[in-house]
Structure 1
């Protein structure tokens, strides 16, 4: 059996991500993914025996990438306020580039279960929560359970992105205008969470 061409395998995953996350084709078939990648469906099935295995691989790679970027923010040596601002910037950049990524991740977590999240590191989050507690004691942020601070932060970022099509319709704005609105959220969120 010949060795697998990892370049083709990565091309298939990257194409699936583009279709799923950037274009919102969450139900793209293996044929649509193969066509967009410029490979035949047999080649796709050689690397990923089924759509479910491809989706699981895309999910794992996406979660690991997002987790790595957010962990780097949480572990940075920046002062806390700058760290939060940087975390918001990284998250928004990722989500604006791939507006359907959050919807995909939530769907797959609920569909495929916790076994797909086994590689998520908790140490950076735990360290960050300690910093949150210290900032609460200093009075720079409202006192509450530190986990609520992090959940609120991610909710303020994620929810508008998940609901983007509804908001675009409600506010009668274009995708570009919505993205501008989202970029302005950093300032709004920073004002909301810091005293």
Structure 2
């Protein structure tokens, strides 16, 4: 029985992730992935059978990583203000590292008509919405439907990432300058939520 070189397999996945999420090359071909990984295209096919299989695996891992990252913050026992501040920081840090990941995940969810509405996920979201409602009842944040609060929070974080190429052109900024602007945005978002 032959053993698989998991180092090469991981290199191919990491390279695909870099191309898809960091560089925005959502339609990178198997050959482009192989060239970037400096491996033979045959190896990509050996480990993943096809570009679509690699694409699906990277998508699933990206979705799981994003959900896991958010869950870790949301399920923590820290006070609500600190939890939101931490969420903003973690989300934007990861999003700046992989600016196209959210676009990739959403595109794939729409393409495959995959909405991960598992019961456990709904329960986690409901727990957070209840926490938001308690904070509103205490007067700590503006009263609104907790779903609007959550959508507003994620919109404030994600929209500048989704529109980054356009914003860089409009503002005449390079990647480094735009990342500095996003770093400033962390505090701004927090101050919008907690004036």
1:84-103 matched pairs, under 5 angstroms: 84-103=84-103
- Show the counterpart of 2:175: 175
* Distance (whole Å) between structure 1 residues aligned to residue 42 and residue 121 of structure 2: 35
Q: Runs of 5+ in structure 1 lacking a partner?
A: none
- Which structure 2 segments of 5+ residues have no match? none
- Give deviations 1:51-96, integer Å, cap 9, x for gaps: 1111110010011111111100001111100000000000000010
Shift of residue 24, structure 1, vs aligned partner: 1.8
1:1-195 maps to which residues of 2 (within 5 A)?
A: 2-114=2-114, 117=116, 121-195=121-195
**Distance in 1 of aligned mates of 2:54 and 2:43:** 12
Question: Segments of 4+ in structure 1 off by > 4 A?
Answer: none
**2: CA distance between counterparts of 1:122 and 1:170?**
38
TM-score normalised per structure 1: 0.92
**RMSD, aligned CA:** 1.7
Report the more deviating stretch, 39-48 or 56-65.
Answer: 39-48
For the residues of structure 2 that align with 1:190 and 1:111, how far apart are their CA atoms? 33
Normalised to the residue count of structure 2, the TM-score between the two structures is: 0.92
